[in-house]
Amino acid sequence: MNIENIKPSKNDFVMIKKKTISILAILIILGLITGFILSTFFYNEANHKIDEYNDNMNKWFQMWNNSLSNNSKFNNSSPFISNQSTNYSFYNPYLKHLYPSDVILLTIGVLAICITIYLKIGIISAYLYIFFKSKSPYIIGLILVFIPLLIISLFLLNMLRALYYSSALEFSILASSLGFGVEGLAAIICIVTIIEIIGLSILFYLTNE
């Protein structure tokens, strides 16, 4: 049997490339959709927690004022500002309500991490397909490398979920370091994850070649 007869033709290579690019695009789109859903959920969850916290603070202030209402010496001497409508100061115990503009970096981070999760799942699936074809132990090693990387992405996603709530912190320096500023933790995660998306996309493309 002539070996050349079983070699893939040029048209076969073109079809494989188109199929790989299509699957890659689908994975990225799925990551964007999932990321948008999760970021919306995290945003609403954070605002719900903020509202609960502020309601509890109002109840505490009411108890404080009621307990000191009969004592003129301590009346209205709370070390905190008990009115949410006042300007924020160092002593303001309330958390501010989040707006979409407050969590842009966090939202981008969630979108990017969701894309990496789908890309890693795609790469692991491709390696499993290759392993069932070749039974190569080398492929098992690659799969065992990407499974922990997938778990790390899930942990990073949960970290960003916590940062949504932390972004409501009043103190600008702390809030910036956690998620607000370009130099904050959320920005670092975004940059690293976007670089990871580029690398994973190239690896996925080459793996399916």
Does 180 or 102 have the greater pLDDT score? 102
The C-alpha angle 93, 87, 58, rounded to 5 degrees, equals 40
Q: Average pLDDT of 151-178?
A: 73
Q: Could you tell me if residue 94 is inside a domain? A: no
pLDDT one-digit tens code per residue, 92-108: 566 677 788 878 888 99
Does 50 or 150 have the greater pLDDT score? 150
Residue with tokens 């903020």: 50
Take residue 55 and report the two structure tokens written for it: 């309601």
Q: Could you tell me if residue 146 is inside a domain? A: yes
Q: Could you tell me if residue 2 is inside a domain? A: no
pLDDT one-digit tens code per residue, 12-71: 667 878 888 999 999 999 999 999 999 999 999 888 888 887 777 777 777 766 666 655
Q: Could you tell me if residue 44 is inside a domain? A: yes
Does 169 or 72 have the greater pLDDT score? 169
The dihedral formed by the CA atoms of 30, 33, 35 and 38, expressed in degrees to the nearest 10 = -120
> 0.85 cut: is pTM over it?
no
Mean pLDDT across the chain: 78
CB 163 within 8 A of CB 175: no
The alpha carbon dihedral of 144, 148, 151, 157 has a sign of: negative
Q: Could you tell me if residue 148 is inside a domain? A: yes
Structural domain count, the chain: 1
Q: Could you tell me if residue 167 is inside a domain? A: yes
Tell me: pLDDT of 162 over 90. Answer: no
With both helix axes pointing from N to C terminus, report the angle between 10-68 and 104-134 in degrees, rounded to the nearest 10: 140
- Identify the band that residue 118 occupies on the pLDDT scale cut at 50, 70 and 90: very high
CB 35 within 8 A of CB 153: no
Mind spelling out the 3-state secondary structure of 128-183?
Answer: HHHHHHHCCHHHHHHHHHHHHHHHHHHHHHHHHHHHHHHCCCCCHHHHHHHCCCCC
Boundaries of domain holding 23 = 14-67+99-207
Q: Could you tell me if residue 74 is inside a domain? A: no
Q: Could you tell me if residue 9 is inside a domain? A: no
Q: Average pLDDT of 123-151?
A: 90
With both helix axes pointing from N to C terminus, report the angle between 185-207 and 137-166 in degrees, rounded to the nearest 10: 150
User: One-letter amino acid identity for 99?
Assistant: Y
What is the predicted pLDDT for the residue at 84? 46
Instruction: Report the candidate in 207, 21, 31 with the shortest Cα–Cα distance to residue 125.
Output: 207
What is the predicted pLDDT for the residue at 41? 94
Does 96 or 72 have the greater pLDDT score? 96
Q: Average pLDDT of 77-102?
A: 57
